[in-house]
Structure formats: structure tokens, C-alpha cells
């Protein structure tokens, strides 16, 4: 397992909350977006939309709009060189009919997968990222003038990390607590 390139990449990715002022090259962001574009999705619906803010005034205006009130705790993310808004364009058929019948919010699942492709592609290129869920989703859509047909999923902060990561083992539950073979959690193995 130690030799797995993919596991190494998973370990390399960690949430970065302090960024250097070094601008992020557009080519690197393009590669992240391409990785996201290749993600799988329910019925191949590809509901994700990535809005990249790398222009300081536009990024600041976005941050001012969404990190207000109780969400001010996230205001420090305005200092990331890039903020990406991850949205979904709602599809009645996939989300309401398909997802509704199955009881699964497919489009949010899809966006999560695409977002993580983006984030892992960033890590591969030496960029730091942080998923941000603590922001005003309604204010985001209002700020963007997208009231109908869109939902906000997350923001992703992107930039070069301010400091080298300390060697660390990510805090994760042991496999035995999250993975089960042939028997559901809590059931006695036969």
C-alpha cells in the first residue's frame, strides 16, 4: 500500500488554511478543472458548475457577500489567492424524479466527487486547498445573480501553502470502524 501513488496523493492532500501570496497559475487551475470535468455523475448529468475567482476585487466582493454574520468565522479564507464556488445546476429529472425516488441527492453526490477530483489534482501540483462549507449559500447565489435553478454546494480555497506541512498522520477512524465485509455494522459475523 505504501507504494501506491494514489494513496500518497491522498496523504499529500490536507486542508490548507494559510496561503502564500504567490499567484496560482491558470494552467494549474485548468488541470484541476479538467480533472473535475472527468468525474462520474448520476445519469452522466454533470450538474457541477465551477466559478473560479482569481481576480482580487471580484474574489473580495464574493468573500464580503458570503462570509457575513455567523459565517464571519470563515472570513480568513478571503486571503486565499483563489476562491472557487462549486454549484449545481439543478435537473428536475435527475434530482427530483431519480434522486427523489431513490432517496439520494444525486446532484450533491456528483458535485462532491467532482470537487474532490479538483482538490486532488491541486494537491498533485503542489497547491493547497480547503473545502469550505461554512458560508452563506443563499447570499452566494444572490451575489452571483443566480436565484433559480442553481444550488450552492461549497467553496474551495486554493493557493500555495504558507508553510511546509508538518509530517502528520491524518486523524481518521480505523478501517474496522468504517469498513465491513459481508456483514453490516453492529451485526454478529456468522
Minimum gap (Å) between residue 105 Cβ and ligand FMN: 13
Q: Which C-beta is closer to ligand FMN: that of 178 or that of 187?
A: 178
Distance CA 19, CA 135 (A): 19
Q: Which C-beta is closer to ligand FMN: that of 29 or that of 120?
A: 120
Distance CA 31, CA 57 (A): 24
Q: Which C-beta is closer to ligand FMN: that of 17 or that of 79?
A: 17
Sign of the torsion angle spanned by Cα atoms 140, 114, 133, 53: negative
Q: Which C-beta is closer to ligand FMN: that of 20 or that of 183?
A: 20
Minimum gap (Å) between residue 168 Cβ and ligand FMN: 8
Minimum gap (Å) between residue 23 Cβ and ligand FMN: 22
Exposure letters 36-54 (e unless 16+ CB within 10 A, then b): beebebbeebbbbebebbb
Residues in the chain: 190
Give the residues lining the site for ligand FMN (CB under 6 A).
14-15, 17, 74, 130-134, 154, 170
Amino acid at each position: 500500500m505504501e507504494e501506491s501513488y494514489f494513496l500518497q496523493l491522498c496523504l499529500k492532500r490536507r486542508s490548507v488554511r494559510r496561503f502564500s501570496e504567490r499567484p496560482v497559475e491558470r494552467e494549474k487551475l485548468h488541470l484541476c478543472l479538467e480533472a473535475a470535468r472527468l468525474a462520474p455523475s448520476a445519469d452522466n448529468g454533470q450538474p457541477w458548475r465551477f466559478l473560479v475567482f482569481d481576480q482580487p476585487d471580484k474574489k473580495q466582493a464574493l468573500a464580503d457577500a458570503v462570509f457575513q454574520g455567523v459565517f464571519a468565522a470563515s472570513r480568513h479564507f478571503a486571503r486565499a489567492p483563489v476562491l472557487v464556488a462549486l454549484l449545481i445546476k439543478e435537473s428536475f429529472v435527475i434530482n427530483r424524479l431519480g434522486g427523489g425516488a431513490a432517496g439520494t441527492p444525486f446532484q450533491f453526490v456528483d458535485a462532491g466527487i467532482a470537487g474532490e477530483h479538483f482538490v486532488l489534482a491541486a494537491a498533485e501540483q503542489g497547491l493547497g486547498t480547503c473545502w469550505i462549507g461554512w458560508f452563506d449559500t443563499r447570499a452566494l447565489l444572490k451575489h452571483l445573480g443566480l436565484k433559480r435553478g442553481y444550488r450552492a454546494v461549497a467553496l474551495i480555497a486554493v493557493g500555495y501553502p504558507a508553510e511546509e506541512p508538518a509530517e502528520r498522520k491524518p486523524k481518521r477512524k480505523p478501517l474496522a470502524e468504517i469498513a465491513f465485509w459481508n456483514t453490516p455494522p453492529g451485526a454478529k459475523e456468522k
